[in-house]
Amino acid sequence: MTSEPLLTSDASAAEKRPRKSDGDRLSKLARHKHIVAQLTAAPTLRASEIAAALGVSGETIRRDLVELQEQKLINRTYGGASRPFALEPALTDRKTLMIAEREAIAAAIADLVLPNEVLMLAAGATTFHIARRLASRARDITVITHDYAIAGALAVNSSIRVLCCPGRYHPTEGYVFGTQTIANINSYEANRAIVSATGISARGANDADDEAGAIYGAMVKRAAEAILVADHSKFDQRALTVFAHWTDIDRLVTDRQPEGALATALREAGTEVIIAQP
Amino acid sequence: MTSEPLLTSDASAAEKRPRKSDGDRLSKLARHKHIVAQLTAAPTLRASEIAAALGVSGETIRRDLVELQEQKLINRTYGGASRPFALEPALTDRKTLMIAEREAIAAAIADLVLPNEVLMLAAGATTFHIARRLASRARDITVITHDYAIAGALAVNSSIRVLCCPGRYHPTEGYVFGTQTIANINSYEANRAIVSATGISARGANDADDEAGAIYGAMVKRAAEAILVADHSKFDQRALTVFAHWTDIDRLVTDRQPEGALATALREAGTEVIIAQP
DNA sequence: CTAATTATGTGGCAAGTCCCTCAAATGTTG
DNA sequence: CAACATTTGAGGGACTTGCCACATAATTAG
């Protein structure tokens, strides 16, 4: 058992004489990384707070902020820093690419959902748009998700019950994953699962992250109806792990008619293709 | 097929029009809209610049910012405003009150934590500060939490493993709660639980939310050592549910010496009191 | 119409921030 | 070891911000 309070001693005792054995002090690079990282969790920071947290002087932090601003890694404010556009929580590509297509897909999905349904909604760029759309349209539904951005987006509608999965938190993606997540998903029954993918091919839907793929696969198997959303940029893309074959997918919602082997595979598996017009 | 849009909560219908021939200056509402609109284009604004641009005094803009912040339409910074952060509910309140006290408490907690420990960290204003502090100080620890702001703050440190609890997502507070959350907490063993409270009194620690209290109580019972954090504004406050008695709490970390019945109860229960100096 | 309420500006004061310079500590190189 | 560059902290002065009390203008209510 540990019982060494060491109570105050934070920034008062060993401050005057920094010695080389003071392992607590961070290097400049470490401070910079820390500041940038903190900005993914908080919208703004104050220089004085950073200085207190890192145990360095405000002047040092201010100099750090100048450098970070020159590198466009932060946005300076009077008294601190704020997040630059680029570092919005993992929404970088989501906001810039295929917005119209994804919005159209999201609208089509929202039309499918009926009151009192139970949905599983996986992490992803398009599914985040779906969550926003559902938040403004849907009523009295239950959504099971492992993505916290989606949970937050849905929660603005108080008639939506949002159930979050347990698991290990993925720092850059903002969702949980792992065996606990899978087990939790398997404990539910849902009307529909809505999942995205890194790519879709004749073999089925694939993802670049095996942990994410495992979650998508579990959702697909667990729901009465499995819906895959993918804009046309995903056509014939192949990534690490194939998490579902077309026979497991009931509907594909996309923005353009598939062709070639992909179209053949969809037809043979009996997957309904819904084209959402932007 | 259900087409029930009807729920567009965009709230731009009612345009209040004060019967006045406003030819010279903008109304308060117009200023507010201007500020919010500007924030969609720029990440941050400075109050002094807004004041100059709109031809009003800085004090007026500052009052505007206070109102807009209360409506969660902006995020205040020192000297101005930044874009609102929908994913992090109620973060603004946490940053404004008792900062020095909470930072001191957070620093004291960070000194207690050793590498390779397993912590349970509950939702709360002070515990959020603790998470930020741990993210910059701690190494190789595992943290179990039900609060997503805390998860995000911790995740910036890649040596911290963050495990999130399942449960129902609380829209305004940003944490999960419910029977799933409790069951998940009970499935772990932890070295320490760090919980906050709405208030502390001679009877013990209480919370205004019974669901949150149930989680705090479960964490306290589950960990080898239970630590309660509470600044002095919590002294002798009483709220809905008492979730832990002092005999269950091993340490109280606060910023001021308790007095009267509270001090007596702490002494009789053998709870160690750690005073963190701001 | 007058009175009450609200909105806005002004001035003062404490605190915070910025930027500059200088000095000490640290790291690097020959 | 010595010389040099880099990093950091401290101090001071100028400026900015936040907050308060109070006065004034504008709007609403009676």
Whether the Cβ atoms of residue B194 and residue B102 lie closer than 8 Å to each other: no
pLDDT computed for residue B153 by the predictor:
85
Domain total of chain A: 2
> Across chain A, how many H-helices and E-strands are there?
10, 15
Nearest chain B residue to A88, by CA:
B85
Phi, psi of B207 (to 5 degrees): -145, 150
B59 CA from D19 C1′ (Å)? 10
Does A16 contact strand C, using a CB cutoff of 7 Å? no
In-domain check, residue A9? no
In-domain check, residue A12? no
**Together in a domain, A123 and A244:** yes
Per-residue pLDDT of chain A (278 residues; tens, 9 = 90+): 333 222 222 333 333 333 333 345 567 888 888 888 788 667 888 898 888 888 888 889 999 888 888 877 788 899 899 887 644 444 444 444 566 688 789 889 998 999 999 999 999 888 988 998 888 788 899 999 999 989 988 887 889 999 999 999 998 788 999 999 999 999 999 999 999 999 999 999 999 999 999 999 999 999 999 999 999 999 999 999 999 999 999 999 999 999 999 999 999 999 999 999 87
Q: What angle do the packed helices A28-41 and A47-54 form, to 10 degrees?
A: 120
B55 CA from C5 C1′ (Å)? 24
Q: How many Å apart are CA B189 and CA B175, to the nearest integer?
A: 21
- Interface list for B 30-89 with A (CB within 8 A): 43-44, 46, 75, 77-80, 82-89
Compute the nearest-CA separation of A137 from chain B (Å): 6
In-domain check, residue A4? no
Q: How many Å apart are CA A127 and CA A195, to the nearest integer?
A: 7
| Cα-based angle A126, A98, A145 (whole degrees, multiple of 5) | 10
A90 and chain B: CB distance < 8 Å anywhere?
no
Whether the Cβ atoms of residue B230 and residue B261 lie closer than 8 Å to each other: no
Lowest mean pLDDT among A248-257, B125-134, B141-150, B240-249: B125-134
**Together in a domain, A78 and A131:** no
Q: Which residue has the tokens 């720029």?
A: B42
- Residues sharing a CB contact under 8 Å with residue B211, sequence separation 6 or more, in sequence order: B170, B177, B178
Does B62 contact strand C, using a CB cutoff of 7 Å? no
**Together in a domain, B161 and B266:** yes
**Together in a domain, A207 and A262:** yes
Does A17 contact strand C, using a CB cutoff of 7 Å? yes
Q: What is the pLDDT of residues B14-32, one digit of tens each?
A: 333 333 333 345 677 888 8
**Together in a domain, A128 and A243:** yes
Element (H, E) at B134: helix B125-137
In-domain check, residue B211? yes
The CATH number of residue A38's host domain is 1.10.10.10
Compute the nearest-CA separation of B161 from chain A (Å): 7
Q: How many Å apart are CA B233 and CA B249, to the nearest integer?
A: 19
A260 and chain B: CB distance < 8 Å anywhere?
no
| Cα-based angle A194, A249, A200 (whole degrees, multiple of 5) | 85
- CA gyration radius, chain A: 23
Q: How many Å apart are CA A109 and CA A71, to the nearest integer?
A: 40
pLDDT computed for residue A214 by the predictor:
97
**Together in a domain, A44 and A171:** no
Lowest mean pLDDT among A8-12, B85-89, B221-225: A8-12
Whether the Cβ atoms of residue A80 and residue A53 lie closer than 8 Å to each other: no
Nearest chain A residue to B45, by CA:
A77
In-domain check, residue B16? no
In-domain check, residue A5? no
**Together in a domain, A114 and A145:** yes
B211 and chain A: CB distance < 8 Å anywhere?
no
The CATH number of residue B224's host domain is 3.40.50.1360
In-domain check, residue B8? no
Q: How many Å apart are CA A227 and CA B45, to the nearest integer?
A: 42
Whether the Cβ atoms of residue A57 and residue A64 lie closer than 8 Å to each other: no
- Containing domain of residue A216, as a range? 93-275
pLDDT computed for residue B100 by the predictor:
66
Nearest CB to B171 within list A148, A155, A168: A155
Q: What angle do the packed helices B99-112 and B125-137 form, to 10 degrees?
A: 50
**Together in a domain, B203 and B132:** yes
B224 and chain A: CB distance < 8 Å anywhere?
yes
- Interface list for A 155-174 with B (CB within 8 A): 155-158, 161-171, 174
Distance of CA A1 to the CA centre of its chain: 38
**Together in a domain, B113 and B208:** yes
Q: Taking CB atoms and an 8 Å cut-off, how many pairs form between chains A and B?
A: 188
**Together in a domain, A234 and A107:** yes
**Together in a domain, B128 and B224:** yes
**Together in a domain, A37 and A115:** no
B59 CA from D22 C1′ (Å)? 14
Phi, psi of A56 (to 5 degrees): -125, 175
